[in-house]
Structures are given as C-alpha cells and as structure tokens.
Amino acid sequence: MRKQFIIFTAIAVMATFISCGSKYTPGTYEGGAPGIHGENVVLQVTVDKKNIKDITVIENHETPGVSDTAFARIPKAIIEGQTLNVDTVSGATYSSNAIIGAVTEALKAAGADIAKLSEGKEVADAVTAATEVLNADIVIIGAGGAGLAAAVSANQNGASVIVFEKMPQVGGNTIISGSAFNAADPSRQIPQGIEDSPEKHYEQTLKGGDNMGTPLLVKTLTDNAYPTLQWLESLGMEFQDHVFTVLGGLWPRAHKPVLPLGTGYLKTYTDYIASHEGITVLTDTRATNIYLEDDANGVKRASVVKAQGPRGIVVAQGHKAVIVATGGFGASVELREKYNKHWPSLANIGTTNHPGATGDGLALAGDVGADLVGLEYIQLLPMGDPVTGSLSGNIEQAVENRIFVNKDGNRFVDEGERRDVMTRALFEQEDTFMWIVLDSHNYPTMDTKNNFNETIQELVDQNRAVMADSLDELAEKMNVNADNLKAAVAEFNSAVETGGPDTFGRTLFQYKMDTPPYFAGGRMPTVHHTMGGIKINEKAQVIDTAGNVIPGLYAAGEATGGIHGTNRLGGNALADINVFGKIAGANAASE
Ligand code: ADP
C-alpha cells in the first residue's frame, strides 16, 4: 500500500514537471551500455528540470589510451550541447557509443525524450538498442555463394569476419541452383575437342547481354572464371571432367560439380569455415541498416551493420569494410512489378528462387548512397515446374540433346538460344506451356539423375515426366499431335546430320533422337535471376550515384548489377558470385 502510494506520487510529480515544460525529473541517475569488450560502461548523470548538469564515470573497462579522448570529450560535448547527437571520437567508436548509450539509459530513467535529444544520431541509437554488439574486420550481409566466397577469401587474407544471414540456414539461391560454372578451361575442353578462351567467353557474355554489361566487369568475370574454379578446387571442391552447354549458356564451357545442385559450393565454403578461426556466421539474423561513420581521417566509411536477430537487435562493427551479398529480388513480387519493363506482368509467374531473394541489398546499399543499375532486366527461364515454378523436375541434361514442343507437338524456337529469346517465344505458345522431349541418350538407365538430383524413374513415377517406347505412344501421353511430333524429331535428326543451322537457326547438336525410350516433361516460364542491382567497379567496390566509390562498402553476387546487361548467360551466375565474392573479400581485407 505504502509502495503503491510512493509510485503514484512519483508519477504525479513527474507528470507535473512534464506538464510545466520540464525535460527531466531532477535527480542523479545511473546508466550503462556495452563497450568494446562487451562489458558495460556505467555513468552517473545529474539533471535538473531542464538541463544535464553533470556526468561522472562509475565503471570503465575500455582500452586505456584508446578510449581516453572519448571519455574526455563526449560527456563534455553532451553537457555543452544538451544533446545526445554528439560526434563519436574516431578510432574509439565503440567507447564513444558506449558513453552515449550509458548517458541515454540514465536520461531515460530521468524521463527524457530520447528521440528528441538524439535526433540524427542513428549509429548511437543502433548500438545502444543492441542486445549484442560484435566486432570484426569485415561484416558480410548474406551467406549464399557470394557472401561465403567473400568470407573465405577475406579470411585467407588475414581478416576476421562476421556474416549475417536472415534465413535459418545458409545457401540462398546458390544451394538450389543448377550449379553450372562457366569457365574457359583448357584442361577439360581440349581433350573434348572444344575450342574456347576467356576472350570468347567475354565476347559471348557481352553480346548475350546486348552489350549492356560494363566491359571491364565482364572482362574481370571471364578472366577470373578459371582461376576462381581452380581456387575452389584448391579448397577441396570437385567438378566433373565433362564440360557441357547449359541452357542459354551458348557454348560448352559449363562445369558441373560432383555433388548435386549447389551443395558442392556450400560444402566447400562451410568446411573451410568450420576448420578455420575467424569467421562467425549468424543465421536468422536479418540486416536492416548499414551506417557510414567517420574514420581516423574524417572520411565517411561503411562500418556498422544493424540486424534483427532471434534475441533482438545485433550490431556489428566492421573495422575495415562491409560487404553486401544479399542476392537478387526474384522472389519479391512487389519489386518485380516495380522494376519490370520488358515482360508481361510477372505477378502470377512462379520463381526458381528461395523465399529470401527479396532484394534487401537494394535498400541497404541504396540508403547509404549506392547507385542501382539495370533493375528492369529480369531473367525468366522457360524451364519452370508448371506447379511450383522451381527448376526441379527439369529433364534436360544438355542443350545439344533435346527439343521443345508446344501443345500442338511443334517446335517453336532455337533451343540453343539465349534464355530471354526462348522464354519470349514460350509466352507466345498456348497456355505458355511446352514439353521438353529427349531420348535415352540422356538417360541410359532409369537410375540416371537429372541436374536436380532426381532419377528419371522418380519423375515418371510422380507423373512429372512421361515415358514411351515410340514417338506415337509418347505423343499420346503428352496429348499432342503425333504427326507433328514425329516431323519435329525427324527434322531435328536431319539437322544433327548436317550440323545445322536448322530452320530455327539452331547450331548446337550432338546425338540424334532415335533411341527409345523417349521422355517428355512439361515446363512453363519462371522468374530466375535479376541482372540489375548495386553498381560496383572491378574491385567490387560500391559506386555511389555521383560515380564515386563509397569507402569501405563492397558488393558481390546477384545483389550487384552491370555485369550481365539485359540477359545473363546460363552458367555465368556461379562464375560471377564466386569470382566477385573472392575479389570483394580479398580487397575488403586489404583496406
Ligand atoms: P548470391 O548467389 O549472390 O550469393 P544467394 O541468393 O545465393 O545470392 O545468397 C544471398 C543470401 O543473402 C541468401 O542466403 C539470403 O537469405 C541472404 N540475405 C538476403 N537479404 C538479407 C538480409 N537483409 N540480411 C541477411 N541476409 C540476407
């Protein structure tokens, strides 16, 4: 009863002060906030009705010498300015923010309007609100292929790394991808009689994106593709010896990992992380803001990342750099609709992407001034599962050995074309639906797997593919005109003999389609990749809207734009994310 009375009186007194225009309840209050080693800096703050009068240090575990200036300057600045919006001391950002945080806590207890007192002081807010404060040389946002390549490469170059991943697991789109990695690779291509070079890869990549890619970025990609593949091998990753042409890849330079889908890349990187000190990966932790702070030379650098973790706000200070590797926005219907200019509405089209591909990096980097380029270039594949939009269930093995037919059983496009060209042609077909048709050259046994770790037997059992001993029987199961289907296959087979080009201009052929059993699987358009994103230079540094480098900020992978132009070649994504992830990590480490 007595306690209740006191509380009631205190509230009433406080209310009176506030109603009289008072800013604080007079008194002396204590507040604490975590410093550089995680231990609280504790301060005592004395206020009267209107002013902060005095600030005294009660506990200080900060590094002597480094933090002295912060303790000398910041309490003084707070009192002089009667504000929490004071500059941190460069080189002692942590201690500075701890001091500001401790004063904030004390002033909260004094009934202050903290938002008003700290207007414009977002970094301090972030740190004081944090339940966990972390430090590393480099903070990476996103633990897909690009983010983990950057983490490993930074670690190899001596840097400590924190990786924030918003999903419960690492991997992003990379782990569910078809996993083909394009590289001009003499060790595998010469024995297969394939002529290739980084220059040819460059020409095809640039032209395949309608010359809208930035030449220097394309050259960086194609020159580094093979060395980066060898780097992955040096980390223990295994690729098959046989190179092939992946859908829309235009040339047989795709490398298929031994492990299924993108799991080989993820295993390689996570094995490295598990067996080396210095890389911390936090899953379920979504980055929400990047902050620029003054460095020792007064230069504004990307250095703090705020994130929402399972236990609250986590703030990480990247003493050297921040790397954005958040992937694309294929899974965000809102962003697709915002940026799409070249396709019919994509609102009701499926996607091959994981649900986390929501383009977070655009806002994260855009908010600190990054330029965003090529956002209207969205890649669709003609290869989506008709129910889910995913790539699984795709029976294609290699471009050379299959045809596409529509619901009439007729071919309608050069199946070795660019992805955008094939998908556009598919949009013209009845119900935007097609069948992939191939023969047992692709599936010598019923246990043979597709590129998505499914056996052809499983796909037939699940009615995701049909199988027949003759083309007539196949046509019946597909419910297409048998004469049309047989004519399409016959025309294809004669083009295999001559080497083409056939009536659609197709030139990529290998085997005739003449060996039963035959197989067919249905496919529809699906959103696959977003070519646009954060503008970078060849060092993976982020470029602002005025064309200048944003110090300390890097980006890599599908989050970036300007490499693939209007259309990304099949097999170039895995090359891109690994090449630029590795570059970003190494350069960030040498800041
Ligand atoms: P890339 O191929 O460019 O590496 P991925 O899709 O494989 O792209 O990986 C991007 C990763 O970034 C995904 O795992 C995704 O969940 C993660 N990610 C996206 N936005 C955020 C965010 N705001 N905070 C933390 N992780 C994020």
- What tens digit of pLDDT does each residue of 147-170 get? 999 999 999 999 999 999 999 999
Counting from 1 in the atom list of ligand 1, the atom nearest the Cα of 286 is: 24
pLDDT attached to residue 582? 98
User: What confidence tier does 125 reach under pLDDT thresholds 50, 70, 90?
Assistant: low
Lowest mean pLDDT among 35-39, 407-411, 564-568: 35-39
- Do residues 276 and 419 both lie within one domain? no
pLDDT tens track for 74-83: 999 999 889 9
Question: Across residues 111-125, what is the average pLDDT?
Answer: 75
Distance (Å) from CA 329 to ligand 1 centroid: 10
Q: What is the dihedral of CA 161, 162, 167, 172, to 10 degrees?
A: -20
Q: What percent of the chain clears pLDDT 70, i.e. is strictly above it? A: 94
In a domain, 243, yes or no: yes
pLDDT tens track for 498-508: 998 999 999 99
Distance (Å) from CA 283 to ligand 1 centroid: 11
- In terms of phi and psi (left: phi > 0; alpha: psi -120 to 50; beta: otherwise), the region of 479 is left
User: What confidence tier does 39 reach under pLDDT thresholds 50, 70, 90?
Assistant: confident
Q: Label the pairing between strands 312-324 and 132-141.
A: parallel
pLDDT attached to residue 9? 33
pLDDT attached to residue 37? 66
Extended strands (E) in 470-544: 518-530, 533-535, 541-543
pLDDT attached to residue 81? 86
| CATH number assigned to the domain comprising residue 45 | 3.90.1010.20
Counting from 1 in the atom list of ligand 1, the atom nearest the Cα of 556 is: 3
- State which of 103, 121, 139 marks the end of a domain: 121
- Do residues 394 and 373 both lie within one domain? no
| CATH number assigned to the domain comprising residue 263 | 3.50.50.60
User: What confidence tier does 121 reach under pLDDT thresholds 50, 70, 90?
Assistant: low
Distance (Å) from CA 142 to ligand 1 centroid: 4
* Those residues with Cβ within 8 angstroms of residue 411's Cβ, 6 or more apart along the chain or in another chain: 403, 404, 405, 488, 491, 492, 504
Pocket test for ligand 1, best of 140, 163, 165 (most atoms within 8 A of CB): 165
In a domain, 137, yes or no: yes
In a domain, 384, yes or no: yes
- Residue 20 CB coordination number (10 Å): 8
> Does the pLDDT at position 50 exceed 70?
yes
* The one catalytic residue among 188, 402, 411, 419: 419
Q: Count structural domains, the chain.
A: 3
Pocket of ligand 1 (CB under 6 A): 141-147, 164-167, 172-174, 286-287, 325-327, 356-357, 360, 557-559, 577
- State which of 472, 507, 526 marks the end of a domain: 526
Q: Compute the chain's Rg from CA coordinates.
A: 29
Torsion 120-121-122-123 (CA) sign: positive
Question: Across residues 102-126, what is the average pLDDT?
Answer: 82
Q: What is the dihedral of CA 97, 98, 101, 107, to 10 degrees?
A: -120
* Those residues with Cβ within 8 angstroms of residue 207's Cβ, 6 or more apart along the chain or in another chain: none
Predicted structure pTM score: 0.79
DSSP-assigned states of every residue in 182-212: E---HHHHTTTT----HHHHHHHHHHHTTT-
Q: Label the pairing between strands 518-530 and 350-351.
A: parallel
CA separation, residue 525 to residues 471, 479, 515 (Å): 25, 20, 29
> Does the pLDDT at position 97 exceed 80?
yes
pLDDT tens track for 352-375: 999 999 999 999 999 999 999 999
Distance (Å) from CA 242 to ligand 1 centroid: 30
Rounded to whole angstroms, the Cα distance separating 498 from 46 reads: 91
Q: Label the pairing between strands 434-438 and 403-405.
A: antiparallel
User: What are φ and ψ of residue 555, in 5° steps?
Assistant: -145, 150
Cα–chain center distance at 43: 42
Does the annotation count 506 as an active-site position? no
pLDDT tens track for 187-212: 999 999 999 999 999 999 999 999 99
User: What confidence tier does 5 reach under pLDDT thresholds 50, 70, 90?
Assistant: very low
Rounded to whole angstroms, the Cα distance separating 27 from 24 reads: 9
- Of all protein residues, whose CA lies closest to atom 14 belonging to ligand 1? 172
CA angle 99–105–110, rounded 5-degree value: 125
Domain that holds residue 137: 131-377+531-589
Distance (Å) from CA 99 to ligand 1 centroid: 34
pLDDT tens track for 315-333: 999 999 999 999 999 999 9
Counting from 1 in the atom list of ligand 1, the atom nearest the Cα of 142 is: 12
- State which of 482, 509, 526 marks the end of a domain: 526
Counting from 1 in the atom list of ligand 1, the atom nearest the Cα of 285 is: 25
Q: What percent of the chain clears pLDDT 90, i.e. is strictly above it? A: 83
Tell me: cis bond preceding 198? Omega within 30 of 0 counts. Answer: no
User: What confidence tier does 14 reach under pLDDT thresholds 50, 70, 90?
Assistant: very low
pLDDT tens track for 376-404: 999 999 999 999 999 999 999 989 999 99
